[in-house]
Amino acid sequence: MTIAPTQAVIDSISQASHSDPFSVLGMHNDETTGALLVRTFQPGASEVAVIHRDTGKAIAKLEKISEEGFFAKAIGRRKKRFAYQLRVTDESGTRIIDDPFGFPLILGDVDLHLFAEGTHRRVYDKFGAHPSTIDGVEGTSFVVWAPNASRVAVVGDFNQWDGRVNPMRCRHDGGLWEIFIPGVASGACYKYEIKSASGELLPLKADPYGFAAEHRPDTASVVQTIDQFSWQDSAWMAERESRNSRDAAISIYEVHLGSWRRVVEEDNRPLNYRELADQLIPYAVDMGFTHLQLMPISEHPFDGSWGYQPVGLFAPTSRYGSAEDFQYFVERCHESKLGLLLDWVPGHFPSDAHGLASFDGTCLYEHSDPRQGYHPDWKTLIYNYGRREVTNFLIASAQIWLDRYHVDGLRVDAVASMLYLDYSREAGEWVPNEHGGNENLDAVAFLREFNEELYRQYPGTFTVAEESTAWPGVSSPTYNGGLGFGYKWNMGWMNDTLEYMSRDPLHRSHHHNEMTFGLVYGFDENFILPLSHDEVVHGKGSLLARMPGDDWQQFANLRAYYSFMWTHPGKKLLFMGGEFAQGREWNHEASLDWHQLDSDWHSGVQQVVKDLNTLYRTTPALYERDCDASGFCWLDHENAEQSLLAYLRLGNEGTPPVVVVCNFTPQSHYGYRIGVPEAGVYSERFNSDRAIYGGSDQGNAGGVQSECIPWQGQAHSVVITVPPLATVVFELS
């Protein structure tokens, strides 16, 4: 080595084009003389000196080799390197800094091996930006994957966004870039400056593994510590497996945090995580829900995507506060015995310039063939599920929510779009798999691995698939050939029953099967019955607006429908606003219409949902065999003429049976006989026609006595009154 490298090397350093700046800058031993060489690039500096870090003694003043700011000097004949600092003088004064080129490697051989293999499950422990202390010096380590880049640098508010100051070291053929930058602390904003293989300067990129980001519309990543929160939810964690099991009552309140409730007096801003902890959590608990499900809170640039086009899969959105604020929110959920699910989006990502698209100048995260890497519906990009580094990234992004944020489960969005190569594509617009079929075999393998990993590492959590086709075994274990999800949304049930409920009662008799067909396949999967946000957007109107008739009939229809849903096999999910029958379609830019609760009609529906949740949670027959055909028996499913349904719900041995009768016409039915399995008094546990709900208050005086008259395949029977547009529920006392 020489004290001053060639002009070409100096130029490449000053022009931010050198592919291996660590081989030039920092402290090195001259292989020939044994002298220590120190080189540094300090743009704008007039003088630089080397300081012994331990003694504070000035060792040498470096020579200024170029006007751009390249300094170098041979320091005696010392063969042993030492810890040093640089004293830099420029027009702003003199300061002491630690040289980023004077620190050891960040990634070990095991990290490199596991990442290349695609099995580095806690990759977020090393990748991204981590405040840390190395050799007694505080700073932040940065690691990013960009295998086709010719050069990568960290730029931020700590180096005036100058890509010449903190170029990264490339490790191995895997294209991992790393650097430890002294003095950078939590709160610092940063991005990656990347040059492609051809030397093209790309748009500045946010950190794919970033733990925090600036508040939109700003797009920089933010250095953030996420492992310092002092969790106090051990009691919940110990018992959540029983609360999340298939034989538990699971009733989910789906929420978009930005529009649940807003502060109108403060420029209509949304509540933050801590305000939501104080308001949303007590409300959900009071309403009797067992779980919250949040629409995606992974960082995303566009509010109108509702979070379904994320760019930061490791970062809670800064819209509502910090990562620690979100951890506080999760802990408050658990303190209140409320489970928390998150929407997670591995199916696609936006093409925003600061995101994953063409990250290192190539199709790194996305599939290179647009027939496999582009979503025509959403104008977004599709991950390359056949690349191990990409699936490792995705699984780690799922894992971090369960690991660092103690979330209880993930609902995976748009699974059908992942499973089918021809999803929303015409002939010639897709590429068949190796067997000539339309199944995305790479996506199938990824989803199975994802579920196996999460269930193995985080017992007691669960996953949910939004899968809108008849793909077999979505919620079957992978060892049985399934995808391994815990539950699947029952989209068919939702579509059929909402179509039926939107019909005039005069015509319902001709479409009776729309309410019964769901039980033909009702136990093929572990189902959740979803009345989600998708049913109150894009011109569909509100659930209430889809009900026919005058005001009384609309509200009665909705009460009867909710009651049918809560007594039907399957776990429950209801989108916010539905619990009080919001009249208008959901608007993500405005608060829910809480003022409507001043109306008895709306408050009556709210009370119905609250009472249904209580009924569900306190009546084992309604949940113990939710996913088992032995927990359901039709009593009367062919009475299309009167639009009546009657069925039994059965729990484990010793659990009292429950009888449910639904009337979807405005006519009352008196003296209606139904079969029951055992003799005794059947208490009327619930009646959606009660006056406190806004109904006509017809009923059965609290209960009925069975008679020894066999009926509908049962050894006994009871005679009841069935109110108009209502559901009544009886339980053996």
Handedness of CA 709, 713, 717, 718 (dihedral sign): negative
Order of strands across the sheet that contains 47-52: 58-61, 47-52, 84-90, 93-98
Question: Contact 529/462 with Cβ under 8 angstroms?
Answer: no
Question: Contact 74/31 with Cβ under 8 angstroms?
Answer: no
Question: Contact 521/471 with Cβ under 8 angstroms?
Answer: no
Q: Which residue type occupies 604? A: G
Q: Is residue 232 packed enough to be buried (19+ CB in 10 Å), middle (13-18) or exposed (0-12)?
A: exposed
Q: How many Å separate Cα 621 from the centre of its chain?
A: 32
- Tell me if residue 360 falls in helix, strand or coil: coil
Of 193, 343, 403, 413, the active-site residue reads 413
54 is catalytic: no
Whole-number Å distance between alpha carbons of 523 and 258: 35
Pull the structure tokens for residue 290.
């067992």
Angle between helix axes 388-403 and 109-117 (nearest 10 degrees) is 110
Q: Which residue type occupies 27? A: M
413 is catalytic: yes
Pull the structure tokens for residue 222.
């933010």
Residues recorded for the chain: 733
Whole-number Å distance between alpha carbons of 250 and 528: 9
Pairing of strands 262-263, 269-270: antiparallel
Whole-number Å distance between alpha carbons of 578 and 594: 11
**HSE-CB for 573 with a 13 A CA cutoff:** 27
Pull the structure tokens for residue 622.
């309604």
Whole-number Å distance between alpha carbons of 534 and 418: 19
Whole-number Å distance between alpha carbons of 250 and 566: 10
Of 466, 514, 636, 689, the active-site residue reads 466
Handedness of CA 685, 690, 694, 696 (dihedral sign): positive
DSSP line for 449-471 = HHHHHHHHHSTT-EEEE---S--
**Cβ neighbours of residue 453 under 8 Å, at least 6 residues apart?**
121, 395, 399
Cβ atoms within 10 A of the Cβ of 171, count?
18
Strand-pairing partners, residue 571, are 528
Pull the structure tokens for residue 53.
């870090």
Active centre residues (catalytic): 413, 466
